[in-house]
């Protein structure tokens, strides 16, 4: 949340190779994410979308390559330097990953307690405001297991936004949500990007959401272990020369080999 | 850019002007926030204008400061003026007077007497559940014995490895140390009467009749009972138990039978091992008191008869069923959430230990009545 210059790259991924247990899932993947844009990583199931996200946020060690966040390489960073990079972004995990023993308010307040000097009353108000942004202000005293899965996701977004990070990584934010809540979430993402200049990196394959929020997308494919398309989603849908990409955007069932 | 700053002044028309300036971000505003709130609270009956013309930047905490000023109960109006449009759009997202309403606030604490009643009722219900589960598990085991092909023997093998083979080092260590400690503690007074040799009798009888089975059962409760509860509890949280049920597979038969069978197969073997290693620990200690190994073994052989051995060994089968069963039951009873799995594991260990004491007591009474 520092600037709204949309042309400056805030994330640079260079020749990223990643996988698990010696199995390579992504090979030599390179792309940039501009400041303030809503950037969507999409692709079929098992193509490595979540793997890419987890390696971008430094959750797993990469097999090769670099991930620069605001110019700092998270792959090489260690100790305080790494902590400083981690504070630049918030993450919403696919399952929400809320702390089950804490109320929603306490979940959202936790990063504030750790990293700000605000009073408890100030943090409480701020946490309530974050929860009100995602429509959960009436549930601040609830435990995560007392609310629905969709509500847990929204609370997780509120927690990811607790420290007003410059970048928000969202893993499948719309999955499991009803269409109205999903549309509200899309509007929230767009509003935060437009008004605050927050950069979003979102993993999803919900086409309706992609058209509603994405400035730019990359499409991954497991057969090439990397990116097969990049750009505006509508243009890719209408103009891509790759039949697999068009098929994906048109939701056609027949499987075509990627070019 | 400048840090957050506050200037309070009076306007000619009687309004209070609270002028904010600089960067209103979480790291810089706590003091400004407190001061601004104090100024606004001190002018409840005067109109207030919060002048944000000098605000360079506002993060979520900066907006929260403005919201906090706007939501203060007051008699005269308050307004925010000259806030940059981008930040005004952020402020407009919130309804300052609608941030405190919990739909379902936590229930008030109940009176102590009601809590006692509820706890007693829960304990009784739990006891009933345990009896029901014992019936279900027995029925599933009986079905398994009648139709062995219905059992997933590969799973039984894997559980046997975890319950049995993997537990050998800890059982050996504890049993050996128990033998050593028992021998040391009893040898000192015995030596006064020149009766060191009878330490062998104590160790032999104690290990074979009582301690071998008991120590194995306690280790089983802490290790295997907790593991079963955590494993099945995680399956419950991940809805795997629901998936089994909707597939028409009985979770008791599918998950509990394999674990109870594995425990029943392995616990008696571990008990035998504990009896042997514990006695060896005693023999090892008595070497330092001048009792040769052969003499010790001969003494044990003379005092411990087959009846003693059976009396101790039979318990291990019952312990195995009880501990594995209660571990699985606690796992199946797991509520939602990550902490629930931990709770189940704890409850499995506590219930397992309580059951061990009860079962051991029952055996003691039976043996007394049968004069064994």
pLDDT at A3: 42
Residue A74 lies in a domain: no
**Average pLDDT score over chain A:** 86
Residue A77 lies in a domain: no
Question: Which residues in chain A have Cβ-Cβ distances shorter than 8 Å to B83?
Answer: none
Write b or e for each residue in B249-261: b if 16 or more Cβ atoms lie within 10 A of its Cβ, otherwise e.
Answer: eebbbbbbbbbbb
From the list A118, A128, A141, the residue facing B26 with the nearest CB is A118
SS (HEC) of A10-76: EEEEEEEEEEECCEEEEEEEEEEEECCCEEEEEECCCCCHHHHHHHHCCCCCCCEEEEEECCEECCC
Pairing label, strands A64-69, A9-20: antiparallel
Q: Which of left, alpha, beta for A216 (phi over 0: left; psi -120 to 50: alpha)?
A: beta
Confidence at A242, pLDDT banded by 50, 70, 90: confident
Residue in B with minimal Cα distance to A161:
B60
pLDDT in tens, B300-359: 999 999 999 999 999 999 999 999 999 999 999 988 766 788 999 999 999 999 999 999
For residue A238, what is the domain's CATH number? Answer: 3.40.50.300
pLDDT in tens, B107-125: 677 888 998 999 999 889 9
Does residue A258 surpass a pLDDT of 60? no
pLDDT at A189: 87
In this complex, do A125 and B339 lie within 8 Å of one another by their Cβ atoms? no
Question: Which residues in chain A have Cβ-Cβ distances shorter than 8 Å to B342?
Answer: none
CA distance to A2, A122, A195, B24, per residue, from B58 (Å): 10, 15, 11, 5
Residue A121 lies in a domain: yes
Domain containing residue A152: 36-45+86-250
Residue in A with minimal Cα distance to B33:
A122
Residue A138 lies in a domain: yes
Residue by residue, DSSP assigns A129-146 as HHHHHTT-GGGTT--GGG
ipTM of the complex, rounded to two decimals: 0.75
pLDDT at B100: 75
**Average pLDDT score over chain B:** 89
From the list A139, A144, A164, the residue facing B103 with the nearest CB is A139
pLDDT in tens, B282-299: 999 999 988 999 999 999
More confident residue, A180 or A253: A180
- Residues paired with A23 in a beta bridge: A20
Residue A184 lies in a domain: yes
- State the Cα–Cα distance between residues A194 and A192, nearest whole angstrom: 6
Total count of domains within chain A: 1
Does residue A5 surpass a pLDDT of 60? no
Residue A24 lies in a domain: no
Residue A99 lies in a domain: yes
Confidence at A253, pLDDT banded by 50, 70, 90: low
Residue A186 lies in a domain: yes
In this complex, do B102 and A132 lie within 8 Å of one another by their Cβ atoms? no
pLDDT at A4: 44
């Amino acid at each position: 949340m520092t600037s709204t210059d949309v042309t400056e790259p805030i994330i640079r991924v260079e020749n990223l190779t990643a996988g698990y247990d010696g199995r390579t899932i992504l090979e030599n993947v390179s792309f940039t994410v501009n400041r303030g844009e809503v950037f969507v990583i999409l692709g079929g199931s098992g193509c490595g979308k979540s793997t890419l996200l987890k390696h971008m946020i430094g959750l797993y060690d990469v097999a090769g390559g670099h991930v620069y966040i605001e110019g700092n390489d998270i792959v090489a960073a260690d100790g305080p330097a790494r902590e400083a990079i981690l504070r630049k972004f918030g993450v919403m995990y696919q399952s929400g990953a809320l702390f089950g023993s804490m109320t929603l308010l306490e979940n959202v307040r936790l990063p504030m307690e750790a990293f700000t000097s605000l009073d408890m009353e100030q943090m409480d108000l701020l946490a309530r405001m974050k929860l009100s942004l995602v429509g959960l202000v009436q549930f601040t005293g609830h435990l995560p297991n007392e609310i629905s899965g969709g509500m847990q996701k929204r609370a997780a977004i509120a927690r990811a936004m607790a420290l007003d990070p410059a970048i928000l990584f969202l893993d499948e934010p719309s999955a499991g949500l009803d269409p109205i809540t999903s549309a509200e979430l899309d509007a929230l993402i767009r509003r935060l990007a437009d008004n605050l200049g927050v950069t979003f990196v979102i993993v999803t394959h919900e086409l309706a959401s992609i058209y509603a929020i994405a400035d730019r997308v990359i499409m991954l494919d497991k057969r090439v272990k990397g990116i097969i398309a990049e750009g505006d989603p509508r243009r890719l849908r209408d103009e891509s020369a790759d039949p697999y990409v068009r098929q994906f955007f048109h939701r056609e069932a027949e499987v075509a080999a990627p070019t | 850019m400048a840090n957050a700053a506050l200037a309070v002044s009076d306007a000619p028309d009687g309004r209070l002007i609270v002028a904010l300036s600089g960067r209103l971000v979480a790291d810089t505003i706590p003091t400004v926030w407190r001061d601004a709130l104090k100024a606004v609270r001190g002018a409840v009956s005067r109109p207030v204008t919060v002048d944000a013309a000098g605000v360079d930047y506002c993060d979520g905490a900066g907006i929260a400061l403005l919201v906090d000023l706007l939501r203060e109960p007051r008699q005269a109006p308050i307004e925010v003026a000259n806030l940059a449009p981008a930040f005004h759009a952020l402020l407009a997202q919130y309804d300052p007077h609608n941030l405190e309403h919990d739909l379902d606030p936590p229930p008030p604490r109940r009176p102590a007497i009601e809590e006692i009643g509820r706890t007693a009722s829960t304990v009784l219900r739990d006891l009933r559940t345990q009896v029901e589960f014992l019936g279900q598990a027995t029925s599933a085991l009986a079905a398994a014995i009648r139709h062995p092909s219905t059992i997933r023997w590969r799973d039984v093998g894997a559980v046997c490895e975890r319950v049995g083979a993997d537990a050998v080092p800890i059982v050996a260590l504890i049993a050996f140390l128990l033998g050593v400690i028992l021998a040391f503690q009893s040898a000192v007074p015995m030596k006064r009467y020149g009766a060191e040799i009878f330490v062998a009798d104590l160790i032999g009888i104690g290990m074979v009749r009582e301690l071998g089975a008991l120590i194995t059962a306690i280790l089983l409760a802490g290790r295997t009972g907790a593991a079963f509860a955590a494993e099945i509890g995680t399956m419950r949280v991940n809805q795997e138990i629901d998936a089994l049920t909707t597939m028409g597979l009985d979770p008791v038969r599918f998950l509990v039978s394999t674990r109870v069978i594995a425990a029943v197969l392995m616990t008696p073997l571990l008990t035998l091992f504990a009896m042997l290693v514990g006695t060896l620990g005693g023999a090892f200690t008595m070497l330092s008191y001048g009792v040769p190994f052969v003499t010790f073994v001969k003494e044990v052989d003379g005092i411990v008869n087959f009846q003693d051995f059976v009396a101790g060994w039979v318990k291990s089968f019952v312990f195995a069923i009880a501990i594995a069963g209660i571990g699985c039951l606690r796992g199946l009873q797991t509520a939602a959430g990550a902490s629930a799995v931990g709770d189940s594991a704890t409850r499995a260990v506590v219930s397992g230990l309580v059951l061990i004491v009860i079962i051991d007591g029952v055996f003691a009474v039976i043996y007394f009545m049968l004069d064994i």
